[in-house]
Amino acid sequence: MSAKSSMINTEIIWGMKKFLDAKTAKGWYRTGYVADKPNDKRIYLFCKRVFDVVVSSIFLILIAPVLILCAIAIKLDSPGPVLFVQQRTGLGGHRFKIYKLRTMKQNAEELKLKYAHLNTLTWPDFKIPNDPRITRLGLFFRKTSLDELPQFFNVIKGDMSLVGPRPTSFSSSTYELWHTIRLECKPGITGLWQVSGRNDIDFDDRVRLDVAYMKNMSFWLDLKIMLRTFTAVIRKEGE
């Protein structure tokens, strides 16, 4: 791609970003405008990284016994590995391995084609109600969000942040041009979509929420999202 072409694409993307932000209804997340201030943004990203590493390290030490118990339970519940490792799309379209506690049968990926007709989202997004691939224990893990705990290792590695757009399992090569806006932000364990109260929305609407977060990103907004996530988990509103 030529420099001129790259510059044109960047202009198109940022033009669409402004349009999407204007189309997004005003809400509680409109707390700051770090994205429009380069110097403030650099300080924010540095502080956010330090916060991510410190909080994740302390949290993993505290929950180590819980992870051990979960690993034993998974082994007793169904055959297969303890961890589910999958390629996800992160910052700049970079593919990385995400870690989760396994909640599905060992051949879940092969069964995806079998149940493709039940998909309620637009492909390559995939979600089916009462997914038959989920194990009995996996259903409990998802309800309580325990399956997400290993992602704190991803945060320490630098692939993810505590707060940001959720990384997609499908490659950025399947994105439409305006979708690539979300690739400018490091993906997170939780984000604006997770606390919006809307779980079954298509990728287009999720990207609009990602844009809203990126436009209003601030340390205060991150704290509010984490607090809302914690509250949702306590109320057992996880997926």
Q: What sections of 24-89 are H helices per DSSP?
A: 38-77
Q: How confident is the model over 133-192, as pLDDT tens digits?
A: 889 999 999 889 999 999 999 999 999 999 999 999 999 999 999 999 999 999 999 998
Residue 200 pLDDT exceeds 60: yes
**Adjacent-strand bridge partners of 134:** 104
pLDDT score recorded for residue 235: 76
147: containing domain: 3-234
Contact between 198 and 228 (Cβ < 8 Å): no
Report how far residue 60's alpha carbon sits from residue 231's, in angstroms, rounded to the nearest whole number. 19
Q: Is 63 contained in some domain?
A: yes
Q: Does residue 38 have a cis bond before it (omega within 30 degrees)?
A: no
Instruction: Please count the CA atoms within 13 angstroms of the CA of 153 that sit on its side-chain side.
Output: 15
Q: Is 239 contained in some domain?
A: no
Chain-centroid distance of CA 116 in Å reads 22
For residue 209, how many other CB atoms are within 10 A of its CB?
A: 24
Report how far residue 176's alpha carbon sits from residue 122's, in angstroms, rounded to the nearest whole number. 13
Q: Is 88 contained in some domain?
A: yes
Looking at the 3D structure of the chain, how many domains does it have? 1
pLDDT score recorded for residue 91: 95
Average pLDDT over residues 117-127: 66
pLDDT score recorded for residue 96: 97
Between 50 and 36, name the one with better pLDDT.
50
**Adjacent-strand bridge partners of 95:** 89
Record the pTM.
Answer: 0.79
Question: Which whole-number Å values give the CA distances from 231 to 12, 144, 190, in the listed order?
Answer: 38, 11, 12
Contact between 104 and 84 (Cβ < 8 Å): yes
Q: Which of 65, 62, 66 is nearest to 54 (CA)?
A: 62
Between 118 and 176, name the one with better pLDDT.
176
pLDDT score recorded for residue 167: 95
232: confidence class by pLDDT, cuts 50, 70, 90: confident
Between 1 and 186, name the one with better pLDDT.
186
Residue 116 pLDDT exceeds 90: no
Q: Is 95 contained in some domain?
A: yes
Report how far residue 66's alpha carbon sits from residue 46's, in angstroms, rounded to the nearest whole number. 30
Between 48 and 109, name the one with better pLDDT.
48
Question: Which whole-number Å values give the CA distances from 204 to 10, 49, 68, in the listed order?
Answer: 19, 28, 38
Q: Is 21 contained in some domain?
A: yes
Q: Is 92 contained in some domain?
A: yes
pLDDT score recorded for residue 222: 94
Q: Is 157 contained in some domain?
A: yes
Q: How confident is the model over 7-46, as pLDDT tens digits?
A: 434 444 444 455 445 444 455 555 555 555 667 788 899 9
